[in-house]
Amino acid sequence: MKNENQLEEIRKESEGQPVLIFKHSTSCSISAAALNRLERSWKTEEVPQLKAYYLDLLSYRGLSREVANQFGIIHESPQVLLIDKGKCVYHSSHLSINYTEVKNNTLKLQA
């Protein structure tokens, strides 16, 4: 993600399928570990309808604040947000970020 216009795109996309936002701090070892764990576990065939967006919050601090503001969550880093029908329906941060939880919450939305 690089600009606020993408937030409206995400809201629109989320009307038809859940969308994931991963907020990442490139200078934080916990953020790097959370991203690595998520990437190593990710199985596209398990959640084929989940589109993911990556937000480098050091490069786009204002956008990161706007994500928190628009979706009504407290900013944390690292953080994942699951957006469905324009709303954040699940979020997690730090080492609580877990692929299985993301997958299970996504599958519940699609049931």
Taking the domains of the chain in order of start, what are their residue ranges?
A: 5-110
The predicted-structure confidence for 3-61, as pLDDT tens digits, reads as follows 999 999 999 999 999 999 999 999 999 999 999 999 999 998 999 889 999 999 999 99
For residue 111, what pLDDT band results from cuts at 50, 70 and 90? confident
Full DSSP string of the chain: --STHHHHHHHHHTTTS-EEEEEE-TT-HHHHHHHHHHHHH--TTTSTT-EEEEEETTT-HHHHHHHHHHHT----SSEEEEEETTEEEEEEEGGG--HHHHHHHHHHHH-
* Domain 5-110 CATH assignment equals 3.30.360.10: no
